[in-house]
Amino acid sequence: MPHLDHDRLVFLALGESEADAGESTHLDTCAHCRAEFDAFRQVAGLGADTQSLRELPDPPEHVWQGIVAEIRAAEALPTLPAPRAEQPRTEQPTAEQPSAGGAGGAGGVVLTPRRRGRWSRWAVTATTAAAAAVLGVVGTLVVLDATEPAPRPPAQRVVLASAPLRAYGSTPPDANGEARVFDNRRLHLHVVNLPDVPGYYEVWLINPRTMEMFSVGVLGDAADELLPLPPNVDLEAYSVVDVSAETYDNNTAHSGESLLRGTLTG
Amino acid sequence: MDGLADRFRAGDERALREAYDRYGRAVLHLAASTLANRSDAEDVTQTTFVAAWLARETFDPAKGSLVGWLLGIGRRKVIDRLRASARETRVVETVRRLPEPARTGPDPDTVVDRLVVADELARLPDDQRRMLELAFYDDLTHQQIATVTGVPLGTVKSHIRRGMASLKRRWEVDGATPGPRPAGFPGAR
């Protein structure tokens, strides 16, 4: 018997018609037709399972923000092609400014022009609400900075490191945020959808290797908070930003109830 | 299509955002349906796009579609994550002697295959797609489809035939589990 007609295989695989005796025998003995038949059957099965895939939900916004942040961080690595020749517009970054610790932090300062360039390119090219939200954060930074009693005029800050903050443990997954370390040793936190707690929120830096930690400060009710960091903190070691729910219990240790966490990169 | 794959490969940042807008949902679905932890799934989605962007020059449009390539990266990240959590589970079990069975979600390969077929289905000409959806989702016979749509039976059959051939071709190119080919068959991979 010659190979089964291609169309016939499709209809058999879809269950549209029954194989007659000759066709059954052929399918049992002909590897070629059997493979084609099995493939069509599998495709038909997969096709029937696609109905639920037509209206998949969008990923939450922080996923995109995390992608942008990680790509910027990765592209700032010194091993990648040289940054574009664009002068830094920031006023303050200087060579003696201590960096977060080691080459990574120093690279962040050196490569600032590139990073700023990136931001503005994203700004020009992005047309979506998501990108607008990212830019909104930049706007916030400048505003916050202006409220600081700094002796010098408010400058656009250089971000040494940043971390997307995600819901941790049993925290509702829509809670999220972002942490950034500026070159003036300030930790900027932007949080959204934190669950209500009976006490207050506290911000910690954790060394994930040793699980040693220290408190950076308390988070108020506002979505944004700017907290000073100790001058000599090693952000490469204490790389995890943690927001915890604390109660007024006179216990200064971490409650163990983490709401958000993220790892600083940059 | 509209050159998205080429622009992506060339490093056009707008193409990254477009690719994310189009396929971020599929990658997240792959991760969320195979990993127990929602934040792990989001993290895998994020690292998939970051890894794809950083490795964009290795993407070869001749070997498959952009979404197939992205899902392939996502699939590897999911498998890495599953292995890591299996290790953790073993450690915990050793300590506690509590053999808690690991969650067995759907197989990542099957999820990838489904997403690839869904993507191709969405790209088919409207007539072919409509006929196949009636056959797949509503389980209608070709005769019933002809009655429901008012399209002649012969035309229904030819739409379905061509649509099925496209789905199969695409699945063989981009799917994670190309069908079991008997050993010795000349077309075996």
ipTM: 0.83
Provide the pLDDT confidence category of residue B62 given band limits of 50, 70 and 90: confident
User: Rounded to whole angstroms, how far apart are CA atoms B58 and A27?
Assistant: 41
Q: Is residue B130 pLDDT above 70, yes or no?
A: yes
Q: What values do phi and psi take at A219, rounded to 5?
A: -95, 125
- pLDDT score at A81: 36
Whether pLDDT at B141 is above 80? yes
Query: Please, are residues A64 and B20 in contact by the beta-carbon 8 Å criterion?
Result: yes
* Confidence band for B81, pLDDT divided at 50, 70 and 90: confident
Question: A7-23, pLDDT tens digit by residue?
Answer: 899 999 998 888 888 89
**A168, A177 in Cβ contact below 8 A?**
no
Decide if pLDDT at B179 tops 90: no
CATH of domain A94-117+157-263: 2.60.40
Write the CA distances from B143 to A19, A160, A241, B105, integer angstroms: 18, 66, 62, 37
Interface of B with A in 92-151 (CB under 8 A): 113-115, 117-118, 121-122, 132, 135-137, 141-142
For the entire predicted model, the pTM comes to 0.56
H or E segment to which residue A200 belongs: strand A200-206
Give the tens place of pLDDT for each residue, A103-115: 333 333 333 333 3
Query: For the residues A217-225, what does the mean pLDDT come to?
Result: 78
pLDDT of residue A47: 95
Question: Between these two residues, B167 and B94, which has the higher pLDDT value?
Answer: B167
Confidence check: pLDDT of B51 > 80: yes
Residue A119 CB partners (closer than 8 Å, separation 6+): A135, A138
Check whether A142 has a pLDDT greater than 70. Answer: no
What six digits make up the tokens of A86?
């664009």
| Integer CA distances (angstroms), B60 to A241, B9, B17, B63, in order | 39, 9, 19, 6
* Cα–Cα distance for residue pair A46/A48, rounded to 1 Å: 5
* Secondary element (H or E) of residue A193: none
Contact B161 A7 (CB under 8 A): yes
Which pLDDT belongs to residue A145?
A: 41
The Cα-based distances of A152 to A147, A148, B10, B140 in angstroms read 12, 10, 42, 74
- The alpha-carbon gap from A154 to the nearest alpha carbon of chain B, in Å, equals 31
Domain boundaries in chain A? 1-49, 94-117+157-263
pLDDT band at A197 (very low <50, low <70, confident <90, very high): confident
Output the six-digit token pair for A187: 């930790």
The pLDDT tens digits for A165-176 are 999 888 888 899
The predicted structure's pLDDT at residue B99: 44
A188 three-state secondary structure? strand
Residue A206 has a CB neighbour count (10 Å cut-off) of 20
Q: Is A53 in Cβ contact with B115 (below 8 Å)? A: yes
In Å, how far is A105's CA from the nearest CA of chain B? 21
Give backbone dihedrals phi and psi of B91, rounded to 5 degrees, phi first: -60, -50
Higher pLDDT, A8 or B184: A8
Determine the Cα–Cα distance for residues A124 and A118; give it in Å rounded to an integer. Answer: 10
Q: Are A151 and A165 in contact (CB under 8 A)?
A: no
Select the highest-mean-pLDDT range: A71-85, A197-211, B128-142: B128-142
Across A174-188, B93-107, B167-181, least confident range: B93-107
Per the model's pLDDT, the better-predicted residue between B59 and A72 turns out to be: B59
Q: What is the pLDDT of residue A211?
A: 79
Mean per-residue pLDDT, A113-137 = 41
| Alpha helix (H) residue ranges in chain A | 6-13, 21-29, 31-48, 61-75, 102-110, 112-125, 129-147
Query: Residue A28: what pLDDT?
Result: 92
Tokens 């047309």 correspond to A127
Region A95-121: what's the mean pLDDT?
Answer: 38
Maximum separation of any 2 CA atoms in chain A, in Å: 93
> Which DSSP string do the residues of B141-188 spell out, in sequence order?
-HHHHHHHH---HHHHHHHHHHHHHHHHHHHHHH-SS---PPTT-TT-
For chain A, what percent of residues have pLDDT higher than 70?
68
pLDDT score at B68: 94
Residue A139 reports pLDDT greater than 80: no
**B27: chain A residues, CB-CB within 8 Å:** 59
Kindly report each contact of residues B43-48 with a partner whose C-beta sits within 8 Å and lies 24 or more positions away, as own/partner. Answer: B43/A66, B43/A166, B44/B74, B44/B77, B44/B78, B44/B81, B45/A59, B45/A63, B45/B74, B46/A63, B46/A66, B46/A67, B46/A70, B46/A164, B47/A70, B47/B77, B48/B73, B48/B74, B48/B77
* Mutate: best of A11, A53, A166, partner B, most B CBs <10 A: A53
Asked if residue A55 has pLDDT above 80, the reply is: yes
Does residue A210 have a pLDDT over 50?
Answer: yes
pLDDT, residue A155, reads: 44
Distance from C-alpha of B77 to C-alpha of B51, rounded to nearest angstrom = 10
Task: Tell me the mean pLDDT in the region B140-152.
Answer: 94
| Stronger pLDDT, B184 or B12, i.e. the higher one | B12
Enumerate residues 6+ apart whose C-beta is below 8 A from B24: A58, A59, A63, A64, B45, B49
> What's the pLDDT score for residue B94?
53
Residue A73 has pLDDT above 60, yes or no: yes
What would the mean pLDDT of A152-161 be, rounded to a whole number? 63
Residue A101: pLDDT over 60: no
Mean residue pLDDT of chain B comes to 85
**Average predicted confidence (pLDDT) for chain A:** 73
The position carrying tokens 């300062």 is: A109
Interface of A with B in 21-80 (CB under 8 A): 31-32, 34-35, 38-40, 42-44, 46-51, 53-54, 56-60, 62-64, 66-67, 70-71, 74
The reported pLDDT for the residue numbered A229 is 86
A177 contacts A260 by C-beta, under 8 angstroms: yes
- Which residue, A190, A180, A184, is CA-closest to A146? A184
Percent of chain A at pLDDT > 90 equals 29
pLDDT at residue B61, as a whole number: 87
> Which residue in A46, A59, A62 is closest to B24 by CB distance?
A59
- Residue B54: strand, helix, or coil: helix
Residue A252 has pLDDT above 90, yes or no: no
Q: What distance in Å separates the CA atoms of residue A66 and residue B50, rounded to the nearest whole number?
A: 9
- What is the rounded average pLDDT of the residues A84-89? 42
Calculate mean pLDDT across residues A152-166.
73
- In the block, which residue shows the tokens 């493979």? A35
A238: number of Cβ within 10 Å: 24
